[in-house]
Amino acid sequence: MIHRWLISLLAVAVLLVLPQAPAQTPVVSEVMPLPVFHKHARILFQGDSITDNNRGRNLDPNHILGHGYVFILAAKYGAAFPELNLTFLNRGVSGNTVETLAERWQTDTLELTPDLISILVGVNDHSQNVPVDHYEKSYDRLLADSRTANPNVRLVL
């Protein structure tokens, strides 16, 4: 009994001694608007597993954007600017290289008619020893195809 009482007393003492961090409540009004996020903008995130981040492959709104940076950005800007009616899309696929991304570029990028495309791909190319010049050529082709399909598309590389 004394042993349990002593542990409880020590736990309370530790909590009293530790500096208390002030509670931080996120303030939506502190989110700076981005000019590229205009009314009804379609923002597409494209890439490999870093983008995919276990995204759902159905319309379940709890998982469709994954569990990483795409979800965080969509939640942050969607909540801060609901009047813009932004559409966030995640088409990252784990294991993709720039070449496998190119194979699905038409259907998973161009046909979605995004206003902004964020592309994060390359870690698998590196691990598979894809020559840098081949990577660059394939990546440049994706960018050129995007500009041809929509000259006003904004790119985040």
CATH superfamily membership of 34-156 = SGNH hydrolase (3.40.50.1110)
pLDDT at residue number 2: 53
pLDDT at 4 over 80: no
Q: Do 95 and 113 form a contact (C-beta atoms < 8 A)?
A: no
pLDDT at 25 over 80: no
Mean pLDDT across the stretch 45-56?
95
Nearest of 83, 87, 143 to residue 112 by alpha carbon? 87
pLDDT at residue number 7: 54
Condensed to tens digits (0 to 9), the pLDDT of residues 99-115 reads 999 999 999 999 999 99
Structural domain boundaries in the chain: 34-156
pLDDT at residue number 14: 47
CA angle 125, 138, 70 (to 5 degrees): 65
Q: d(Cα 83, Cα 156) in Å, to the nearest integer? A: 23
Tokens linked to 49? 């597993």
Residue 42: Cβ-neighbour burial (10 angstroms; 0-12, 13-18, 19+): middle
